Amino acid sequence: MLIIKPYIRENAVAYAEKYAFGQNPLFGDFSAIGGNCTNFVSQCIYAGTCVMNYKPTFGWYYISLNERSPSWTGVEFFYNFITQNADIGPYGEEVTADQIEIGDVIQLARENEGYYHTLLVSGFDGEEPLVSAQTLDAFNRPLSSYRFDYKRYIKILGARIYMPEKGSCFKNVIDGISLV
């Protein structure tokens, strides 16, 4: 049975603050091969959920540089996983700007390039989101300081975890064995 585990937004932001300007040795750095932004945001979300989905190809996980899902490091793959995931792991939905909170995600796009950058919302200055990222390392950088043509907002709603069904408690209770 799948149950919903809350997303601890403060943990995601605390992780971003600690690692925005330096690499966590538990994870690889993809800066030299296309960028580290989605890898960094995936780490932040993992810090806020502590749940991965190890399904080959279509899951969301990181084991090593060579053992990871495309959604852990790829902008579009990340979006597709988070917004379509109905299985184990974090899940979310695309929302409007007024619905985002700390720990949510913003992806930036350029007209001729598509979506190219993933950012974690780490604060607000009034109504303006402050974001954190790697590749162009930043913590609490104003979103308006980036150059982009359009953007999308992704609200992280929680994470699903597998909870094995224990069955009915009836036999244990009626036999005086236990309450579960």
Task: Give me the number of domains the chain comprises.
Answer: 1
CA distance 89 to 83: 11
* Range with the poorest average pLDDT among 108-117, 133-142, 170-179: 170-179
**Cut 0.75: pTM above it:** yes
Cβ(70)–Cβ(79) below 8 Å: no
Contact between residue 20 and residue 134 where contact means Cβ atoms under 8 Å apart: yes
Asked whether residue 180 is assigned to any structural domain, the reply reads no
Q: pLDDT at position 80, please? A: 98
Tens-digit pLDDT profile for residues 155-179:
999 999 988 766 666 777 778 776 6
Flag whether 111 is in a domain.
Answer: yes
Q: CA torsion sign, 158 to 134 to 129 to 122?
A: positive
The single-letter DSSP state of residue 44 is H
Residue 148 forms part of a structural domain: yes
| Beta bridge pairs of residue 130 | 123, 142
pLDDT at 176: 75
Residue with tokens 């810090």: 47
Q: What is the mean pLDDT of residues 12-31?
A: 95
Structure tokens at 58: 């279509």
pLDDT at 132 over 90: yes
- pLDDT at res. 34: 81
Per-residue pLDDT at 131 exceeds 70: yes
Q: Enter the tokens of residue 131.
A: 């974001």
CA pair distance 105, 111, nearest whole angstrom: 20
- Span between the terminal Cα atoms of the chain, in Å: 17
Average pLDDT, the chain: 94
Domain that holds residue 48: 2-174
Label residue 120 by pLDDT band (50, 70, 90).
very high
- Answer yes or no: is 169 within a domain: yes
Residue 138 reports pLDDT greater than 90 = yes
> Per the domain annotation, does 136 fall within a domain?
yes
Q: What is the pLDDT of residues 33-68, one digit of tens each?
A: 888 999 999 999 999 999 999 999 899 999 999 999
Look at residue 145 and tell me if it is in a domain. yes
Residue 46 lies in a domain: yes
